[in-house]
A and B are shown apart, each in its own frame.
Chain A
Amino acid sequence: MPWYSILTVVAVVVVVAAELLWIRSGVFRRPAYWIAIGICATFQIPVDGWLTKLSSVIVIYNPEVFSGIRIFWDSPIEDWGFGFALMTLALALWVRQSDDDSVGSPAAATAAEDGVRS
């Protein structure tokens, strides 16, 4: 069974659903989020490539659990779903907490208007 493929799709769906229904940071509406994801996905090529290149492999994937599609330096294509889910969860939680100790967040601005120091 391609468990890594299945779990990657599940992780992406769960993280996107968690953001939309529960965390609600609004990160998907921010251009900076998409730009950062694009930058990180690009840097993932050499980093992931170094870890997965079959000539001197560091992280060894069981060929039975993923699609078999390897891109760039032999990285399973699933890794980009994995990375997207990992980074999106972190960014959603980070942006959601703007209200706490950050200047410049919508919540902080609202709090300031209300005369409340966050």
Chain B
Amino acid sequence: MRIDQFQYLIVMALCVVVTLPLEFVLGARVYRRPRRLLRTMVPTFAAFVAWDVVAIRLGHWTFSPVYTTGWKVGNIPVEELTFFVVIPLCALLSYEAVQQVRRLGWVGALRTGVLARFLPDPGPGPDPSAADRPTEELV
């Protein structure tokens, strides 16, 4: 294997790395709502992988053997499966980060975001971080 074969996967990894501060600095709280995240990702992933399966089978697009690993599940490169997890994640993180900044301002978002790293995940029951999170939704 040559390093070039990981180019597609490296691009996906960079997308994850670049958006990570949205979760842990601005307090997007996407990764920390795993059940909700799963219920969002499963239908999205299923719908778009289905499209991808058909498109690959019909020859709408193909993948360079030079820049992909060649690892596949059925006819789908693992890179594509990664794509349909990573890109929706980036969208959710962007949305929640924008929400945080609009609600709390940059300083407030940074304060609660960075602070939240040191607080336990609010489980069921009264939420200790509720005071930081206004209940009015921006519409």
Contact = CB atoms under 8 A, between A and B. Distances in A.
Interface of A: 3-4, 7, 11, 26, 29-33, 35-37, 39-40, 43, 47, 50-51, 56-62, 65, 83, 86-87, 89-91, 93-95, 97-98, 100-106, 108-109, 112, 117
A61 B63 CA distance: 9
20 contacts: A3-B60, A4-B60, A36-B91, A36-B98, A39-B98, A56-B66, A57-B64, A65-B61, A83-B87, A87-B87, A87-B88, A89-B44, A90-B88, A94-B95, A95-B95, A101-B35, A103-B135, A104-B134, A106-B137, A117-B124
Most-contacted residue by chain B among A56, A93, A94, A103 (CB, 10 A)? A94
Given A36-B91, A36-B94, A93-B43, 15 more contacts: A32-B95, A36-B97, A36-B98, A40-B94, A43-B18, A58-B63, A59-B63, A65-B60, A65-B61, A90-B88, A98-B137, A104-B133, A108-B135, A109-B137, A117-B124
A101 B33 CA distance: 7
B8 A51 contact: yes
A37 to B, nearest CB: 8
B8 A7 contact: no
A101 B35 CA distance: 8
A66 to B, nearest CB: 8
B46 to A, nearest CB: 10
Interface string B1-44: 00000011001000100100000000000000101110111011
A60 B137 contact: no
Contact of B133 (A59, A60, A89, A103): A103
Contacts of B11: 47, 50-51, 58
B106 interface: no
A4 to B, nearest CB: 5
B115 to A, nearest CB: 15
Nearest to B95: A36
Contacts of A91: 91-92, 95
A94 B92 contact: yes
A56 to B, nearest CB: 7
